[in-house]
Amino acid sequence: MFENLKNKIKVAYRKHQTNKVQFKRSVTRSAGGDVGIYIMLAIVAFVMVLPMVYAIVQSLKPLDEIFVFPPRFFVINPTFDNFRDLFRTMADSWVPFSRYVFNTVLISVAGTAGNVLLSSYAAYAISKIRFPGRKGLFKIVTYALMFNSTVTGISNFIIMSALGWVDTYLAVIVPAFCTPFGLYLMKQFMETNVQDAVLESARLEGASENKILWKIAMPMVKPAWATLILFAFKDLWNTGANLYIYSEQLKTMNYAISQLVTAGIARSGVSAAATVIMMLVPITVFIISQNNVIQTMSSAGMKD
């Protein structure tokens, strides 16, 4: 968007034979301010990254370097021993680590898929079909953005017991299908990015709403899918200890790792290795989807 405008404006300038005019907001931008901003950004970026770099460095340290005093920040002889030990010790434990991995992957993938699917259907109907009650439904969802799931945790436990879902995957996966933020984002994006005229002509040709959603609307909102996938996935991937899950073999990777971290310094290399594996996945998803996410969020504002 930014690039486009820049180009357009450049072209416009050239037409007026003033192509020397550079498009920079030089009137409102002092050089001193620019430098100040760069320095500040550099410092804060350093603080943001430091702990993450430290996690990676720590995961590569051999045992003798972990016990060096005073502790060194950087690693001298990097090794992958910690990663090997992680899988070895965890394989010997009562519940093998692979089971935690499986649980986390299952919850994340199933929950994300359901979230995108149900949100898309509901968002399409609310934003593109003029049925009575659509505004009220959306309003309720907007209110639901204003509190988080800690509030509903206790009552949800009662509902889960009534459904017989306590201590099953369903208790974690199914509630993830209906996050308010998923519907909210998808609806806002569809409203601004799917043209009614196109849908109307498809309706005149007799296409069903379901077909219009999949053949016309969905291809137009790919950035919103990418965004929903990122948000739903990172939340589910980071699911930790859960009120509704007791059995060790249903618990998640995040839970297993928090147990490891509290186990003390001897394991700090191993737990850093586990943390690195955990964090690389959502970060990768974000890197892939970044441009789409920014595009989606630009339509995500609260329009009264």
Partner 1 sequence: MAKEKAIIRSDMTRFQWTIMEMKKHKVAYVMVAPYFILFTLFTVVPVLLSLVLSFTSFDLLNWPKFIFLDNYIRLFLDDDVFITAIKNTLKFAVVTGPGSYLLSMLFAWFINELRPKVRSIMTLLFYAPSISGNVYLIWTLFFSSDEYGIVNAWGMKLGLLSEPVLWFQDKKYIFVLCCCVALWTSLGTSFLTFIAGFQCVDFSLYEAGAVDGVKNRWQELYYITMPYMRPQMMLGAILAITGAFGFGGVITNLVGFPSPDYCAHTIMHHLDDYGGQRFEMGYASAIATLLFLMMIGCNLLINRILRKIGT
Residues 44-73 that bind partner 1 (CB under 8 A): 44-45, 47-49, 51-52, 54-55, 58, 67, 69-71, 73
From candidates 177, 217, 221, 229, binder to partner 1 by CB under 8 A: 177
CA 93 to centroid of chain Cα atoms: 31
- Identified binder of partner 1 from the candidate list 28, 64, 204, 205, rule CB under 8 A: 28
Among 10, 13, 106, 156, which residue interacts with partner 1 (rule: CB under 8 A)? 156
172 near partner 1, rule: CB under 8 A: no
The site for partner 1, by CB under 8 A, has a size of 110
Of 20, 31, 131, 204, which lies in the binding site for partner 1, with binding defined by CB under 8 A?
131
Taking a C-beta distance cutoff of 8 angstroms, is the pair 174, 286 a contact? Answer: no
The dihedral over CA atoms of 42, 44, 46, 51, expressed in degrees to the nearest 10, equals: -170
Taking residues 255 to 284 in sequence order and writing x for each that binds partner 1 by CB under 8 A, - otherwise, the string is: --xx--x---x--x--xx--x--xx--xx-
The DSSP 8-state label assigned to residue 175 in this structure reads: G
Which among 84-92, 94-102, 105-113, 231-239 is the span making contact with partner 1, rule CB under 8 A? 231-239
Decide: 124 and 184 in contact? Cβ < 8 Å: no
**Whether the Cβ atoms of residue 257 and residue 274 lie closer than 8 Å to each other:** yes
Binding span for partner 1 by CB under 8 A among 80-88, 92-100, 134-142, 198-206: 134-142
Longest Cα separation, the chain: 76
Q: Is 247 in the site for partner 1 (CB under 8 A)?
A: no
> How far, CA to CA in Å, does 20 sit from each of 14, 26, 168?
8, 14, 67
Residue 288, CA distances (Å) to 15, 49, 187, 218, 302 in order: 38, 19, 23, 19, 26
Length of the chain: 304
Residue placing its CB nearer to partner 1 in the complex, 29 or 88: 29
Q: How far is the CB of 87 from partner 1 (least distance, A)?
A: 19
User: What is the CA angle 112-114-120, rounded to 5?
Assistant: 100
Whether 223 contacts 295, CB under 8 Å: yes
Q: Which residues ranging from 83 to 122 are in contact with partner 1 (CB under 8 A)? A: 118-119, 121-122
Phi, psi of 22 (to 5 degrees): -90, 140
Residue ranges in 282-301 that form contacts with partner 1 under rule CB under 8 A: 282-283, 286-287, 290-291, 293-298, 300-301
Q: Which two tokens stand for residue 284?
A: 């990768």
Select the span of 79-87, 91-99, 214-222, 238-246 touching partner 1 (CB under 8 A): 238-246
User: Which residue of 74, 147, 214, 246 would you call a contact of partner 1, by CB under 8 A?
Assistant: 147
Q: Does 10 bind partner 1 (CB under 8 A)?
A: no
The verdict on 238 binding partner 1 (CB under 8 A) reads yes
